Amino acid sequence: MREVRVRFAPSPTGALHIGGIRTALYNYLLARKYNGTMILRIEDTDQTRYVPGAEAYIVESLAWAGIKIDEGVGVGGPYAPYRQSERNSLYKTYAQKLVDEGHAYYAFDTEQDLEEMRKRTPNAQYDSVTRLQMKNSLTLTGSEVDQKLSMNEKHVIRLKISGKEEIQLTDLIRGSIRVQSSQIDDKVLMKSDGMPTYHLANVVDDYLMKISHVIRGEEWLPSAPLHVLLYRYLGWENDMPQFVHLPLLLKPDGNGKLSKRDADKMGFPIFPLNWQDPESGHVAIGYRETGYLPEALINFLAFLGWNPGTEQELFSMEQLIEAFTLERIGKAGARFDIQKAQWFNQHYLRSKPDDVLIGYLNDSLKKENIDCSQEKAKKIVAIMKERVTFPKDFWEQGKFFFIAPDSFDEQVATKKWNNDAVKVLTAFSSEIKSMNNLNAETAKETLEMVTSKLGIKTGQILQSLRMSITGGASGPDLMMTMEILGNAEVGNRIHFAIETLKVKVT
């Protein structure tokens, strides 16, 4: 088998989309599986869409996701440079070669010329029939062309595609694909600004960089036959890479491919990391900042369009590399389901060692300027562990350990808060006041003692107790919560609740 060399080749036009991470991941898995090389190439040939910071963002995103680059932007390598804007002379050389050999030609048409041509015929394209009516080196005389070129008139170089040729290509996911060359237009290879288009740059670089597999999104499938033609005209058909067009990521609901709009609308991230738009200054929150662990995101993404064929669903990167095969990538687009991502995250988060989890809580506390003993943090993490999905949940769902509630859950306050509850809580708080060691066990004993004395069922008032201590209607084990808080704090909170809510008792 040919040496595996794959590339992830995004263009720096903004933040990398989550789908881009998946594409990079599949490339990476194949490279690692076969001891190949993972290359990062930046396709920055569109100067009008260049966004500063986007390249650094891509590099950082991949690093965070655990996708290591062996060669390319940021690390260098034998085929440098890996930024297309720095490889322009190469593209020019090959474009010229194509012109010289009659596979490409100069075109001088203005935007209006093109517009008129398109209006003339339905489904118009610049091709073997329409090019005869346009201003190009096929219709103009040699001296006219020379004159225009020497006067530096604006022009592009177009690929000359014959009208009747069948192009066959094999996609490793979709099998054999046949297209008639008459369906393809004479694509621009070199733009009038002197930069190559994607098609030329891509083919030239993939060839020169000895790419073995082109693994990219399905949106490229329609132009794959064009690329085959380019390889053919350039004389590189025998070294052509294998094509692998990945199914797209689709909207969670409705139709179409996943977009930033959907993500915003449904409240989940679309970018791996926070991204500040340089123009608007608006910050889009990333997976990292939301609290997704890279291993969870990777596991989730890997399964969007691929599966190992077994019932195992939890895979580390190493295990993915081991199990990955191109053959098991699906054909149909995969709907994006953030709930599944959350489930993966929950799983990976809970399987972290306790000291890591304590670290998460401490991170939040530091931000809030709250001191907390290691012992207390340890106890909190122990009882919160089974309830969290994101690292910040330790703080967000456990705030009450540090801040006494100033308001109370309305449902509980109206439905459960009654004379019995107040009676029990009053008695309970005066019982524990004198205790010097309130722990989960003694708290439970005391509570049971109080309720049985008053002839009230503990279950009846438990939610009121919780509410008065935490403000909320749900939370971790109440007895442990009281142990962590200590008897003085528990007593204070009960008093505050009784004071605040007594008006509602009739």
Q: Which is nearer to RNA, 104 or 304 (CB)?
A: 304
Residue 197 near RNA by CB under 7 A:
yes
Is residue 127 near RNA by the rule CB under 7 A? Answer: no
Nearer to RNA, 274 or 460 (CB): 460
Query: In the numeric block, which tokens belong to residue 474?
Result: 């749900």
Contact at 8 Å (CB) between 224 and 187?
no
401 within 8 A of 383, measured Cβ to Cβ: no
d(CA 102, CA 21) in angstroms, rounded, equals: 40
d(CA 236, CA 87): 19
Tell me if 123 contacts RNA by CB under 7 A. yes
As given in the structure block, the two tokens for residue 12 are 């720096």
Among the residue ranges 27-35, 70-78, 367-375, 442-450, the one whose residues contact RNA (CB under 7 A):
442-450
Q: Which of 52, 122, 267, 353 binds RNA (CB under 7 A)?
A: 122
Task: Looking at residues 159 to 188 of the shown chain, list those that interact with RNA (rule: CB under 7 A).
Answer: 174-175, 177-180, 183, 185, 188
The 3-state DSSP class for residue 51 equals coil
Closest CA to 489 of 427, 435, 408: 435
| 260 given a catalytic annotation | yes
Residue 104 makes contact with RNA by CB under 7 A: no
Q: Is 175:205 a contact under the CB 8 Å cutoff?
A: no
Q: Give yes or no for residue 376 binding RNA (CB under 7 A).
A: no
Residue 265 in the binding site for RNA (CB under 7 A): no
Residue whose CB is less far from RNA, 32 or 216: 216
Shortest distance, position 135 Cβ to RNA, whole Å: 10
User: Distance (Å, rounded) from C-alpha 227 to C-alpha 184?
Assistant: 11
Of 230 and 304, CB closest to RNA: 304
Tokens of 257: 């491919």
Distance between CA 281 and CA 290 in Å, rounded?
19
Per rule CB under 7 A, count of chain residues that contact RNA: 83
Site string for RNA, 135-164 (x = CB under 7 A): -------------------x-x--------
H helix runs in 354-457, sequence order:
354-367, 374-384, 393-396, 410-415, 419-433, 440-454
By CB under 7 A, the residues from 17 to 76 that bind RNA are: 43, 45-46, 49
475 binds RNA (CB under 7 A): yes
Of the pair 304, 365, the CB lying nearest RNA is at 304
Give the separation between CA 477 and CA 82, rounded to whole angstroms: 56
Q: Check residue 457 for interaction with RNA (CB under 7 A).
A: yes
**Window contacting RNA (CB under 7 A); options: 316-324, 332-340, 374-382, 423-431:** 332-340
Antiparallel, parallel or unpaired: β 283-284 and 275-276: antiparallel
446 binds RNA (CB under 7 A): no
Instruction: Kindly tell me which residue out of 192, 325, 374, 411 binds RNA, with binding defined by CB under 7 A.
Output: 192
Strands 156-159 and 104-107: what pairing? Answer: antiparallel
Distance CA 26, CA 28 (A): 5
Catalytic residue among 260, 378, 423, 433: 260
Look up tokens 């990167």; give the residue: 317
Check binding of 305 to RNA (CB under 7 A).
Answer: yes
* 261 is an interface residue for RNA by CB under 7 A: no
What residues are labeled active site? 260
